[in-house]
Amino acid sequence: MHLLNIPVIAIDGPTASGKGTVAHQVARRLGFHYLDSGALYRLTALTALRKQTPLDDDHALSKLASTLHCRFDGENIFLSNENVSAAIRAEEVGNTASRIAALPAVRQSLYALQLGFRAAPGLVADGRDMGTVIFPHA
């Protein structure tokens, strides 16, 4: 099946509006893959903090973002094989994610990573820019 023939459902909305819960339920009900784009920024932030990567080093942060080995499994988020669902919700990680999300090089690296989540039978993508920038034909 050609990638563009794989359906993508993009869910966007304000913070704490329940879009993540709805996205999880839709993905589960349809048997689709799930992508939480905000979690990717938090995963990049967590990795940067753990590796003590300088937050002003765009190149190093971009490389971290492009080499994330992550997966979503129901409500759980894994970095490599470690469940980091709670760790990425820490305040320091959230603050760091906000800082690095403003870096064009990081956004570009995560753009490519997000495109890679599109797989059969389909994808439910939750987050900012999902239906406009990442998957404009969703």
**In contact, 94 and 15? CB cutoff 8 Å:** no
Q: Is 82 helix (H, G, I), strand (E, B) or coil?
A: strand
Residue 51, classified by CB atoms within 10 Å of its CB into exposed (0-12), middle (13-18) or buried (19+), is exposed
Give the helix/strand (H/E) hosting 9. Answer: strand 8-11
**Length of the chain in terms of residues written:** 138
- Reported as a pLDDT band with limits 50, 70 and 90, residue 1 is low
* Mean predicted confidence (pLDDT) in 61-80: 93
- CA torsion 40→42→48→52, rounded to 10°? -170
Lowest mean pLDDT among 6-20, 48-62, 75-89: 6-20
Kindly report the pTM of this predicted structure: 0.91
Average pLDDT of the chain, as a whole number? 92
Tell whether the model's pLDDT for residue 94 goes beyond 90: yes
- CATH class as words, domain 3-134: alpha beta
In order, the DSSP letters of 38-81 are HHHHHHHHHHHHHTT--TT-HHHHHHHHHT--EEEETTEEEETT
* Mean predicted confidence (pLDDT) in 42-59: 97
- Reported as a pLDDT band with limits 50, 70 and 90, residue 137 is confident
Give the helix/strand (H/E) hosting 107. Answer: helix 104-115
- Residues 51 and 96: their CA atoms lie apart, in Å, by 13
Tell whether the model's pLDDT for residue 16 goes beyond 80: no
* Mean predicted confidence (pLDDT) in 96-112: 95
Beta-strand pair 76-79/82-83: antiparallel
Lowest mean pLDDT among 11-15, 31-35, 48-52, 109-113: 11-15
Tell whether the model's pLDDT for residue 126 goes beyond 80: yes
